[in-house]
Amino acid sequence: MFKQIMQHKITVRKSSRGFTLIELVAVMAIIGVLAVALVPSIEVAMDRAENTKIISTLAKIEGAIKIYQLEHDGTVPEDLAVLKKNRYIEHETYKGIEYQKGDSDITYKLSGTNSKGDKINSSGEITLK
């Protein structure tokens, strides 16, 4: 009987040692497959968020230009620095935004560029690089 008790203790000790190498490799493989499946969707979500931020910034600047036009007889500013100087927008607002005054005093072009180099206009249209 003593021999049976000793064998039982030995088997209990063997089973509580930890994970086997096969189990660890299987878990790592499962985590790897999940990561490969999630990375593209996370990347797409981040791109959408960046584009949405640029479109929102363009809308803010367009609003500031409209207010400027109302206060200056319908003319548009020479550049975005004029809007900042007159406190229509903050400097950080127009980082990465391109503004071009048109041929007449009432026309302008406004666009932004995302990290991939794609152009985004104020109506939300994206021109791929």
Residue 112 lies in a domain: yes
Residue 127 lies in a domain: yes
Number of structural domains (the chain) is 1
Residue 49 lies in a domain: no
Whether 125 contacts 110, CB under 8 Å:
no
Question: Quick one: pLDDT at residue 90?
Answer: 80
Residue 25 lies in a domain: no
Question: Quick one: pLDDT at residue 14?
Answer: 53
**Which pTM value belongs to this model?**
0.71
Residue 97 lies in a domain: yes
**What's the distance, CA 78 to chain centroid?**
31
Residue 19 lies in a domain: no
Domain span at residue 115?
Answer: 57-129
Task: Write the pLDDT tens digit of every residue in 7-24.
Answer: 655 555 555 678 899 999
For residue 39, is pLDDT > 80?
Answer: yes
Closest CA to 104 of 79, 67, 73, 75: 75
Question: Quick one: pLDDT at residue 9?
Answer: 57
Chain mean pLDDT for the chain:
86
For residue 124, is pLDDT > 90?
Answer: no
Residue 122 lies in a domain: yes
Residue 7 lies in a domain: no
Task: Write the pLDDT tens digit of every residue in 41-80.
Answer: 999 999 999 999 999 999 999 999 999 999 999 999 998 8
